[in-house]
Structure 1
Amino acid sequence: MSTDAGSGDNRMRKINVRVPEALLEQIEDEWERRGYSSKSEAIRDALRDWVDPSTELSDETLDDLEESREQRERGQTVSEEEARDRLGLDD
């Protein structure tokens, strides 16, 4: 979870945002459970992630990528065209 500090500029400006009622209800249910001190803090954190998304991959994804590389090196991969033929898929 990000914190409010870190951007180097702590000046805050207020904005008005309209969100669907269902989304607001989800935010109401989640912000405190996730350890935020306020809805505003949670939304600021979500906006920071949107502007600067995390590039960290999960261990599972990294394992899958390694397995894929190994399969390619062993010649165990096929082209998209061959995969489509094998699966009977048309364009």
Structure 2
Amino acid sequence: MSTDTNGPNDGGTEKIDVRVPVALLEEIDEEYERRGYTSRSEAIRDALRDWINPPVQLSDETLEDLAVSREQRERGETRSLEDVKDKYDVE
């Protein structure tokens, strides 16, 4: 293993060896280019970050509530925060 002092956040990076099945590596190569990554390493680092800190996923109930809210806004049934503050004279 080697340490690269030019890594992200000036914390350096460490090289690791990982064995993956050939079919998986072929999929990684296709996907990282499709997603605009400049290298396998960049794509794999990003995937590992998501594994450590998974992105927030909204529940089906929350997604449905958001859809209802969007429809209400489109029908003009909502008010801005500023309008409500003015109406009720709050800061």
**Higher relative strand content:** 2
Length-normalised TM-score, structure 2: 0.55
Instruction: Please say which structure displays the higher CA radius of gyration.
Output: 2
Give unpaired runs (5+ residues) of structure 2. Answer: 1-6, 66-91
Shift of 1:56: 3.6
Runs of 4+ deviating beyond 4 Å: none
The one-letter code of the counterpart of 1:26 is E
**Higher relative helix content:** 2
Q: 2:17 matched to 1:16?
A: yes
The Cα offsets for residues 9-68 of structure 1, whole Å up to 9 and x where unpaired, read as 44010000001111001001111110111110000000000011111427x66234x4xx
Give unpaired runs (5+ residues) of structure 1. Answer: 67-91
Length-normalised TM-score, structure 1: 0.55
Question: Residues of 2 paired with 1:25 and 1:38: CA distance?
Answer: 13
Q: 2:29 matched to 1:47?
A: no
Question: Residues of 2 paired with 1:26 and 1:61: CA distance?
Answer: 33
Question: Residues of 2 paired with 1:39 and 1:61: CA distance?
Answer: 36
Higher RCO by CA contacts (8 Å cutoff, separation 6 or greater): 1
Instruction: State the aligned residue count.
Output: 60
Question: Residues of 2 paired with 1:35 and 1:61: CA distance?
Answer: 32
Question: Residues of 2 paired with 1:53 and 1:9: CA distance?
Answer: 23
1:37 maps to which residue?
Answer: 38
Question: Residues of 2 paired with 1:42 and 1:61: CA distance?
Answer: 32
Alignment of 1:1-91 (within 5 A): 5=8, 8-57=9-58, 62-64=62-64, 66=65
